[in-house]
Amino acid sequence: MEPIETTDFTFWMGEDGILRLRFAPSRDLGIEVVKRSVQIGYEIFQKHPCPLLAFLDEAKSMTREARSYVSKMPGPTAVGLVVTSPIARAIVGMFIGLLRQAPYPVRMFATEEKAAEWLAGFRQAQRPAPSTDGRPIGAS
């Protein structure tokens, strides 16, 4: 997958099969920015079910409306949030509370390496090709 870059954020697939998301430095994450990133992420997850590793340190702020919208984000198999700043970690910790209803696990990490290590367990195996009767090969 080629990187997807906008003025507000960049998505790229790591060699480890984990989708990365980085917001532009000092960006206020309002509802429009978040809606665009969720829409692009959803399109990727539909084609390639995989975990998401999001770097949140450089984001300046996120509106309440944007946090609520993200808490309902469909698609990833798991989400790892990389946050190194102690103040940002406290704020993101509260945000993770909103994500408790998400249909996938969410955890916060201090490093990309630790997040990727945890997320590696949530990579999806390739979906089996359908048989001629529409069921996956090997399904009874």
User: For residue 30, what are the domain limits?
Assistant: 4-122
pLDDT of residue 118: 96
Q: How many domains does the chain have?
A: 1
Q: Is 129 a domain residue?
A: no
pLDDT of residue 86: 82
The CATH number covering residue 80 comes to 3.30.750.24
pTM of the predicted model, to two decimals?
0.79
pLDDT of residue 74: 79
Q: 115 and 42 in contact (C-beta within 8 Å)?
A: no
d(CA 120, CA 138): 26
Tens place of pLDDT per residue across the chain (140 aa):
899 999 999 999 999 999 999 998 888 888 999 999 999 999 999 998 999 999 988 777 888 898 888 877 778 999 999 998 887 777 777 777 767 777 889 899 999 999 999 999 998 643 333 334 443 333 33
Q: Is 97 a domain residue?
A: yes
Residues 6+ apart with CB under 8 A from 105: 78, 79, 122
Q: Is 9 a domain residue?
A: yes
Query: What Cα–Cα distance (Å) separates residue 38 from each residue in 42, 45, 111, 127, 134?
Result: 6, 10, 23, 23, 30
Q: Is 118 a domain residue?
A: yes
Nearest residue to 77 (alpha-carbon basis) of 37, 45, 107, 36: 45
Q: Is 91 a domain residue?
A: yes
